[in-house]
């Protein structure tokens, strides 16, 4: 008996239809992804724990305490991670073949992020912006230069008046050290200063300069971890027999 001949199936149209459906589904998935990316990009910047609202007393106090604890780089990492879509766009727009240092590029993007946060809400202050403002104050930066930078790059600095008031708040709320202090030991520093006041090249009637003599001083405790093992302040203070070759005890300052 001769074998029967089977008619070959023509799967061409079905395969073509499946390919078209797969392509349409991929396009639709890409469109959904792009729409989600757009929504995330257009939302206000998420500030995570790196930004503090000055209209909230609790946030203001937290910022005053956080300024002493550091963690400035970590705060920027939190801000970047909270806004991955925005950071992706800025990375693409600022990418340069000459920028071989990733840390430098990261700082540039961080600067743009700070400006955006401050532009969205003048009452929200990033930790880094507060730190830069305090640094400008204590370093004696000229007021004119400070204001020029602040007006053009609001993420860099707050106003000088804000910095003065915030510095007082930060001093009053400095967190206590959790280090164990060294008993019986303190460091004292004294500095004698003489200053001429109201001296000039001419003297009018009932006017003249004066010489002021001042002594500035500072006393501070030392953490126990700076002392070598077995350190005993009472033993050092006791009257010891004379030793031609003493072995002094030093602190690891």
Report, in this order, helix, strand and coil percent for the chain, each rounded to 5. 50, 15, 35
* Residue 150 to residue 139: CA distance in whole angstroms: 16
- Does residue 140 form part of some domain? yes
CB contact burial 192-220 (16+ within 10 A = b; e otherwise)? eeeeeeeeeeeeeeeeeeeeeeeeeeeee
Residue 144 lies in a domain: yes
- Residue 244's pLDDT is 55
Q: Does residue 221 form part of some domain?
A: yes
The domain total for the chain is 2
Residue 19 lies in a domain: no
Which residue spans within 71-116 are E strands per DSSP? none
Give the pLDDT score at 10: 54
Residue 141 lies in a domain: yes
Paired tokens of 221: 């405790």
Sign (positive or negative) of CA dihedral 62, 67, 72, 74: negative
Residue 45 lies inside a defined structural domain of this protein: no
If asked whether residues 86 and 128 sit together in one domain, one would say: yes
Tell me, yes or no, whether 244 lies in a domain.
no
Q: What is the dihedral of CA 58, 62, 64, 67, to 10 degrees?
A: -160
Considering the domain architecture, whether residues 211 and 125 belong to the same structural domain is answered as no
Q: How open is the CA angle 217-223-226, to the nearest 5 degrees?
A: 105
- Of the residues 172, 191, 206, the one at which a domain ends: 172
Q: For the chain, list residues with pLDDT below 70.
A: 1-24, 26-27, 37, 40, 97-100, 199-209, 239-253
Tell me, what's the pLDDT at 175? 85
Q: Are residues 217 and 143 in the same domain?
A: no
Residues 148 and 215 in one domain: no
Q: Give the per-residue pLDDT at 227.
A: 87
Burial class (CB in 10 A: 0-12, 13-18, 19+), 227: middle
Is there a single domain that holds both residue 71 and residue 112? yes
In a domain, 31, yes or no: no
146: domain range?
Answer: 51-172
DSSP helix/strand/coil, 243? coil
Tokens of residue 20, six digits: 């078209």
């Amino acid at each position: 008996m001769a074998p029967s001949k089977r008619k070959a199936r023509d799967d061409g149209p079905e395969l073509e239809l499946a390919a078209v459906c797969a392509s349409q589904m991929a396009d639709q998935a890409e469109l959904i992804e792009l729409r989600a990316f757009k929504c995330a990009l257009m939302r206000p910047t998420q500030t995570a724990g790196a930004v503090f609202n000055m209209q909230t007393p609790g946030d203001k106090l937290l910022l005053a305490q956080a300024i002493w604890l550091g963690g400035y780089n970590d705060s920027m990492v939190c801000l970047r991670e909270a806004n991955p879509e925005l950071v992706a766009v800025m990375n693409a727009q600022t990418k340069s073949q000459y920028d071989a240092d990733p840390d430098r590029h990261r700082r540039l993007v961080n600067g743009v992020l700070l400006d955006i946060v401050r532009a969205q809400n003048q009452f929200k202050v990033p930790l880094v912006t507060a730190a830069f403002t305090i640094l400008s104050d204590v370093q004696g930066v000229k007021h004119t230069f400070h204001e020029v930078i602040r007006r053009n790059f609001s993420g860099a600095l707050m106003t000088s008046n804000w910095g003065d008031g915030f510095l007082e708040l930060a001093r009053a709320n400095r967190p206590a050290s959790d280090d164990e202090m060294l008993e019986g030991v303190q460091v004292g520093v004294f500095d004698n200063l003489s200053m001429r006041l109201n001296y000039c090249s001419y003297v009018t009637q009932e006017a003249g300069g004066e010489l002021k003599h001042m002594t500035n001083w500072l006393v501070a405790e030392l953490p126990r971890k700076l002392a070598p093992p077995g350190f005993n302040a009472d033993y050092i203070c006791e009257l010891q027999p004379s030793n031609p070759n003493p072995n002094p005890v030093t602190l690891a300052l």
